[in-house]
Amino acid sequence: MSVGDAYFDELFAGNDDPWAFRQRWYERRKRALTLAALPRDRFAAAFEPGCANGELSAELAERCDSLLCGDTSAAAVRLARQRLEGFPHARVEQMRLPQGWPEQRFDLIVLSEVGYYLAQDDLLALAECMRSSLTEDGILVACHWRHPIDGCPLVGDQVHRLLGEALQMECLMTHLEPDFVMQSWSRDGASVAAREGLA
């Protein structure tokens, strides 16, 4: 993570939902689109780096057998653990990426609103971590805000261009709006219809 922890500590100071994930229709709709972008109904082992207060995490927990969430902010980790209390198969760890990437294999990684906090070299290192830890049928879904953010080294379009170049995986889906871009990549390149034997 190229942006310092103090940036996130300030965001969470006295505020358990600094991005208004629960209140804003923009955020609730984006979560619904993220979940709709998952090409399978269920996953064995999922990872959500940069989980913040765990709003998306709780919905991902409904779709997987095991969920690991991580965040660099101690306040975010505490809030996410509270949010996920009803999901014994989910755990939240404090980690700074890409250095603290877990030694585990995942068939789903969801990178939501994280990439622009990384400088280019760190993002490329993160892309290699993700590519290496995905199972043979693994899926990566990424979603990022397209407008500049004060203090962030990159914007969403740059993040997705760099990911697309570095991952060397098949892009299954691209959803582009004025405010955010969402893409998914797969190691095996199988479409949703192909996974169900329809194509």
Indicate whether 15 pLDDT > 80. no
CATH number listed for the domain at residues 5-195: 3.40.50.150
Question: What single-letter amino acid sits at 70?
Answer: G
End-to-end CA distance of the chain: 40
pLDDT band per the 50, 70, 90 thresholds, residue 119: very high
Secondary structure class of 12 (helix, strand, coil): helix
> The pTM is what?
0.92
Mean of per-residue pLDDT scores for the chain: 92
Q: Which residue's entry shows tokens 């095996």?
A: 188
Which pLDDT score, from 0 to 100, does residue 2 have? 61
